[in-house]
A and B are shown apart, each in its own frame.
Chain A
Amino acid sequence: MKYTILLIGILSLAAFFGRTMNVYGQSDIRIGITGGSNASRIKTSTNLTDLLWSYNVGLAFEKGLSDDLSLASELVYSKQGSSIDNVSSGEYITHFDYLALPVFVRYSPGGKNVFFQAGGKFGYLVNDKEIYTYNNTESNLDHLRQWDAGVLGGIGYRIGKHVVVDARYYYGLTPLIKKHTVLDPVTLKPIFYGADRWYNRVWSLNLTVYL
């Protein structure tokens, strides 16, 4: 249910963008490029993993709503995942690469350079991998959900008219693994229907340059 609400919210934001485009032409939507580092991990049923360092890069859009309020969105390739550093024979790493669409509202108190931001993010899974570093064994993960959605929030700073630096935290609300049937190891018959619930948790530090 909450995903549906989030979806409706994001779609209406997109509609809002579209409407502005139609009514005012190209003038008040700023386009730019954005990129930054991701420090990601995964929350499981029992655990929160160590950090995996990676990056996100893509296009950025922003539209001013009033003196202290603006609406921002991005279309980025976001590399996320997890690391278990202290596995005795090396590291265990998972990679989840998304084509992601974050949308957020930025609020600058008193129209100052500092702003707070909050919103949601949609991701489409384009690549997944699990790696054991000690012998570089790679394989794919099974039963993954193609879509990811969650909330994000953070703070940022405007340097001049074109540059924005911001830190944000993404809190995934969609379990990464779909529920499926587990087979009994001995009989290979179905014994249980469920999944270990994994969620994305990502810290990002981004630099955005608007045209």
Chain B
Amino acid sequence: MKKLFTLVIFLTTLSFQNVSAVAPPRVNIDGMWYTNGQTAYIECNKASVNVYIDLILYGSDYLNIRVTTTPNLTVSNTASDIMKTLHLDPDSQNGYIDVGYENNSGDIRVYIQQKPPTPTITVGSNICAGNSASITATSNYSFQSSQPINLVWQTTGGVTVNGSSSYIQTGISSTVTVANISNGTYSVKAVVSNCDNLESTAMNVRLGPPVITNPNYWLFDPGSNMWQFSQTSAGPGVTYSFYVSSGSAILNPQNQDCYISTTGGATVCVSGTNSCGTGTPYCFYIPPAGGFLKTVYPNPATDVLSFEFRGDGSSNTVSYELILFSEKSMKAVKRMSSDEILASESFKASQKLEMNVGYLPRGVYYIHIVPDSRSNLAVQKKRIILE
């Protein structure tokens, strides 16, 4: 009896041993050793490579390899317990593999890349309109002898490379003259012609005054209607200035970002200045605490509902959706996006939306103004009677 009881306790204890994660220190992919987080560049004409780990001994035990991959790669077994065959992406797209020991949870991840590496350029400084400079691009590419690459330059706007909108040079290094005539961009990428023109990610450079990129703004503190604005900084040497172009707001700029507090709504603009001058301002409208819908009338209504919205109608703003719900069915009977509202004839003519509701069954309806969820702005609701 006592022995049985002891056995049960003993077995219970055994079943709650800790799970420990053991990961291989390194993995060999196609003949080269890699550690966690590194990228393995594989020649683009290869369809599969071998992946193996060191033989790690625990007394007379050793640990088998386990490989999981991104869905575009697959793995098959080999005769050796510590090696798998990795079948690469048919379109030579990038992926990664996680390598661990079979029935152990630890992993190391190595990125698999058959595309050539993105070229780097020597000169980072801006070229202002009317000027030109000599620029060298280099690709850190290992298979030039067997699968040679071309470096392909391309431009947009008023920029030329060696006097043209594109230029191609064979080899892992290329020096060109980039001329900025009236601002724009140039890019350089590596292309392997032997492998269906497999391309690297392009290195893009903008010339001239800064352009506001990836602007984003959201309600930061609903109590004081304080918003936060952010953007992708164009890099060092750029200063940003924020100003209120209409309405009133308190601005608290933080380099390329800004905190904006407004009670009555305001249009705020931001522009960047670098050694080439000041770029085109980006203007956006911040609504007052109530939201975008100012008023809707008449209530009760018969044939036409008139909506008045806040905003200057021209600046960028948070997108929203107007939804009309029937109380009876609790279904949306009408939906309109803010883009559709701004584009409507009645809005262009009189800054308000006139919605025909004469055809709807009589009863109680709810209007919801649903802002883009990233804005953190609350849904605005209004009750309307049709009679």
Instruction: Report if A and B associate in a common complex.
Output: yes
Q: Assess whether B11 is in contact with A89, with CB atoms less than 8 Å apart.
A: no
Docked CA distance A198–B101 (Å):
12
B4 an interface residue at 8 Å Cβ cutoff? yes
- Which residues of the other chain, A, contact B78 by a CB distance below 8 angstroms? 185
Least CB distance, A191 to chain B, in whole angstroms: 7
Contact mask B43-77 → A, CB, 8 Å, 1/0? 00000001010010111111110101111001111
B83 an interface residue at 8 Å Cβ cutoff? yes
Q: Assess whether B63 is in contact with A196, with CB atoms less than 8 Å apart.
A: yes
Least CB distance, A50 to chain B, in whole angstroms: 7
State which of A82, A87, A201 has its C-beta within 8 Å of the C-beta of B68. A87
- Which residues of the other chain, A, contact B66 by a CB distance below 8 angstroms? 87, 92
Chain B interface residue number, banded: 35 or more
Residue of B nearest to A43 (CB): B17
**With A50-B19, A192-B57 in contact, is A116–B103 under 8 Å at CB?**
no
Least CB distance, B172 to chain A, in whole angstroms: 29
A45 an interface residue at 8 Å Cβ cutoff? yes
B32 an interface residue at 8 Å Cβ cutoff? no
- Which residues of the other chain, B, contact A196 by a CB distance below 8 angstroms? 61-64, 101-103
Contact mask A71-104 → B, CB, 8 Å, 1/0? 0000000000010111111101010000000000
State which of A43, A82, A116, A182 has its C-beta within 8 Å of the C-beta of B55. A182
Least CB distance, B66 to chain A, in whole angstroms: 6
- Which residues of the other chain, A, contact B349 by a CB distance below 8 angstroms? none
A46 an interface residue at 8 Å Cβ cutoff? yes
B12 an interface residue at 8 Å Cβ cutoff? yes
Q: Assess whether B62 is in contact with A82, with CB atoms less than 8 Å apart.
A: no
Q: Assess whether A46 is in contact with B63, with CB atoms less than 8 Å apart.
A: yes
- Which residues of the other chain, B, contact A42 by a CB distance below 8 angstroms? 103
**With A47-B105, A134-B71 in contact, is A182–B61 under 8 Å at CB?**
no
Q: Assess whether A185 is in contact with B82, with CB atoms less than 8 Å apart.
A: yes
Number of residue pairs spanning A and B whose beta carbons lie under 8 angstroms apart: 142
State which of A90, A142, A182 has its C-beta within 8 Å of the C-beta of B82. A182
Residue of A nearest to B65 (CB): A185
State which of A47, A85, A89, A188 has its C-beta within 8 Å of the C-beta of B103. A47
A195 an interface residue at 8 Å Cβ cutoff? yes
Q: Assess whether B74 is in contact with A135, with CB atoms less than 8 Å apart.
A: yes
Residue of A nearest to B62 (CB): A194
- Which residues of the other chain, B, contact A195 by a CB distance below 8 angstroms? 61-62
Q: Assess whether A45 is in contact with B58, with CB atoms less than 8 Å apart.
A: yes
Docked CA distance A23–B18 (Å):
50
**With A88-B98, A88-B109 in contact, is A194–B79 under 8 Å at CB?**
no
Q: Assess whether B63 is in contact with A48, with CB atoms less than 8 Å apart.
A: no
A55 an interface residue at 8 Å Cβ cutoff? no
Q: Assess whether A183 is in contact with B68, with CB atoms less than 8 Å apart.
A: no
Is chain A's interface secondary structure helix, strand, loop, or mixed overall?
strand
Docked CA distance A46–B104 (Å):
8
Q: Assess whether A185 is in contact with B62, with CB atoms less than 8 Å apart.
A: no
- Which residues of the other chain, A, contact B17 by a CB distance below 8 angstroms? 43, 48
State which of B28, B74, B80, B101 has its C-beta within 8 Å of the C-beta of A46. B101
- Which residues of the other chain, A, contact B145 by a CB distance below 8 angstroms? none
Residue of A nearest to B98 (CB): A88
Q: Assess whether B7 is in contact with A153, with CB atoms less than 8 Å apart.
A: yes
A44 an interface residue at 8 Å Cβ cutoff? yes
Docked CA distance A196–B64 (Å):
7
Docked CA distance A154–B101 (Å):
32
**With A89-B69, A153-B11 in contact, is A182–B62 under 8 Å at CB?**
yes
Q: Assess whether A182 is in contact with B80, with CB atoms less than 8 Å apart.
A: yes
**With A46-B20, A154-B8 in contact, is A88–B58 under 8 Å at CB?**
no
Q: Assess whether A188 is in contact with B80, with CB atoms less than 8 Å apart.
A: yes
Q: Assess whether A109 is in contact with B1, with CB atoms less than 8 Å apart.
A: yes
- Which residues of the other chain, A, contact B8 by a CB distance below 8 angstroms? 116, 118, 153-155, 169
Docked CA distance A48–B70 (Å):
26
Q: Assess whether B80 is in contact with A48, with CB atoms less than 8 Å apart.
A: no
Q: Assess whether A47 is in contact with B22, with CB atoms less than 8 Å apart.
A: yes
Least CB distance, B6 to chain A, in whole angstroms: 10
Q: Assess whether B14 is in contact with A201, with CB atoms less than 8 Å apart.
A: yes
Q: Assess whether A134 is in contact with B4, with CB atoms less than 8 Å apart.
A: no
Least CB distance, A205 to chain B, in whole angstroms: 13
Q: Write the residues of chain A forming the contact surface with B, with a CB cutoff of 8 angstroms.
A: 42-50, 82, 84-90, 92, 94, 107, 109, 116-118, 130, 132, 134-135, 137, 139, 142, 152-155, 169, 171, 179, 182-186, 188, 191-192, 194-198, 201, 203
List 21 interface pairs A-B (beta carbons < 8 Å), by A numbering. Answer: A44-B101, A44-B102, A44-B103, A47-B19, A47-B22, A48-B18, A49-B19, A50-B19, A86-B105, A87-B105, A89-B68, A116-B4, A118-B7, A118-B8, A134-B68, A135-B74, A152-B11, A169-B11, A182-B80, A194-B62, A201-B15
Q: Write the residues of chain B forming the contact surface with A, with a CB cutoff of 8 angstroms.
A: 1, 4-5, 7-8, 11-12, 14-15, 17-22, 28, 50, 52, 55, 57-64, 66, 68-71, 74-83, 98, 100-105, 107, 109
Q: 9 additional contacts, CB 8 Å, given A45-B63, A134-B68, A191-B55?
A: A44-B104, A49-B105, A118-B7, A153-B11, A182-B80, A182-B82, A183-B80, A183-B83, A194-B60
